[in-house]
Amino acid sequence: TRQHRITLLPGDGIGPEILAVTVDVLKVIGKQFDLNFEFTEALIGGAAIDATGNPLPEETLKICRNSDAVLLAAIGGYKWDNLPRHQRPETGLLGIRAGLGLFANLRPATILPQLIDASTLKREVVEGVDIMVVRELTGGIYFGQPKGIFETESGEKRGVNTMAYTESEIDRIAQIGFETAQKRRGKLCSVDKANVLDVSQLWRDRVTLMAEKYPDVELSHLYVDNAAMQLVRNPKQFDTIVTGNLFGDILSDAAAMLTGSIGMLPSASLGSDGPGLFEPVHGSAPDIAGLDKANPLAQVLSAAMMLKYGLNEPEAADQIEQAVLAVLEKGYRTGDIMSEGMTLVGCKGMGEVLINVLESLQG
Ligand code: NAD
Ligand code: IPM
Ligand code: MN
């Protein structure tokens, strides 16, 4: 029996609903693969603000650091949108990424054949798309100084954020980009805005320099505006994309939609040591929270990424992915991926059919 300590962070909105389904799935997987999961729940986001006044209590960070992996659902909601910045749920999320040193965020966008009709794009555009977005997660404009709302001499307010990257910050994410491309189809596209931004010029120079070490990887560069357009025009041209924090945030939502729904997309956030954090790309979806309508599959697939990238249990990860494909093959759909002739289920219902399928598979 292998032991894995997992911190669960349900957060807000649909977070607790999708995480409950995922924990049920993990319990079955644990039995099948003889894994002993020890779950510890902790507070983050709005839930943590309500309980402690702080979106990321010190206790939460401590529990995370003491575990082998962190499984996060989502944070945020209308209730907390008008609090000062340091008390907002989003600040808790940025804090945990920085606090655990998770500079590399892997966001795969894979088109599942069963869901092609759920995409808003034409079949011939999306069929076969398989993209990995490598997003820098602890730097750039999300963290650069100075930042804040300041008063000018004329008494007017001025909002400031700073997009900044050091060479070492660029190098370590570029390295992940090249290594990821090497393990995939050998193509890396670096996305920046070097035609306008100095920070992007440095980014492009460092990525270009690093390419010398990876002669087997074909490197290209795109400006972010063109990259957004190309993702929708012809997504099949992309294999691995490496980019900064803000551009990666935006492009990964766009890439998500190629797959039919953001409710399908998992992610892995990794550092150079310590536990990784695994979370869906989507947010807390306050518009459907509490209605049993959320698609839990992004969360379930995030647990698969946890098993693969965080806990070195690739067979268990595969089993989860197979089960997801099987329930889609059987025609079960939550509202966000519904199409004609399919069977509509809620969040819980999707969990039940997943468990049924899993129990019919061999460990
Ligand atoms: P969102 O991703 O929460 O929702 C966007 C749209 O997608 C909504 O219509 C929502 O209903 C739908 N959607 C998202 N996930 C879904 C799922 N699993 N199943 C079905 N439909 C789903 O983005 P938003 O509305 O811009 O943000 C809502 C809140 O979430 C904000 O407070 C934001 O800051 C936060 N947020 C958190 C994270 C995170 O925790 N990692 C990520 C993004 C946004
Ligand atoms: C994401 C989210 C977060 C981000 C927010 C909620 C801080 O949009 O994980 O993609 O911008 O990184
Ligand atoms: Mn986002």
- Residue extents of the structural domains in the chain: 1-110+261-363, 130-258
pLDDT tens digits along 296-309: 999 999 999 999 99
pLDDT tens digits along 58-77: 999 999 999 999 999 999 99
Phi, psi of 51 (to 5 degrees): -85, -30
Which residue in this structure is represented by tokens 């011939």?
Answer: 124
pLDDT tens digits along 199-245: 999 999 999 999 999 999 999 999 999 999 999 999 999 999 999 99
pTM score, whole prediction: 0.96
Which residue owns the Cα nearest ligand 2 atom 3? 90
> Does any ligand 2 atom lie closer than 6 A to the CB of residue 179?
no
- How would you classify the pairing of strands 104-110 and 266-270? antiparallel
Q: Which of 1-10, 19-28, 150-159, 258-267 has the lowest mean pLDDT?
A: 258-267
| Ligand nearest the Cα atom of residue 284 | 1
How far is ligand 2, taken at its centre, from the CA of residue 283, in Å?
7
Residues within 5 A (CB) of ion ligand 3: 249
Known binding residue 221? Answer is no
Q: Which are the contacts of 263, defined by CB distance < 8 A and separation ≥ 6?
A: 280, 282, 294, 295, 297, 298, 334, 336, 337
165 is catalytic: no
193 is catalytic: yes
273 is catalytic: no
CA angle 236, 240, 246 (to 5 degrees): 105
Q: What is the dihedral of CA 147, 221, 135, 297, to 10 degrees?
A: 140
Known binding residue 68? Answer is no
Known binding residue 308? Answer is no
Is 130-258 the same fold as 1-110+261-363? yes
142 is catalytic: yes
N-to-C CA span, the chain? 14
> Does any ligand 2 atom lie closer than 6 A to the CB of residue 192?
no
Q: Which CATH number fits domain 1-110+261-363: 3.90.650.10, 2.30.40.10, 3.30.360.10, 3.40.718.10?
A: 3.40.718.10
Which residue in this structure is represented by tokens 């959320």?
Answer: 294
Its CATH class, for the domain covering 130-258, is: alpha beta
Per-residue confidence (pLDDT) for residue 218, from 0 to 100:
98
Q: What is the DSSP letter of 127?
A: T
- Residue 113, number of CB atoms within 10 A of its CB: 10
Which residue owns the Cα nearest ligand 1 atom 7? 285
**For residue 248, which of 264, 231, 234, 236 has the smallest C-alpha distance?**
231
For a pocket test of ligand 1, which of 282, 295, 348 has the largest count of ligand atoms closer than 8 A to its C-beta?
282
Q: Indicate if ipTM > 0.95.
A: yes
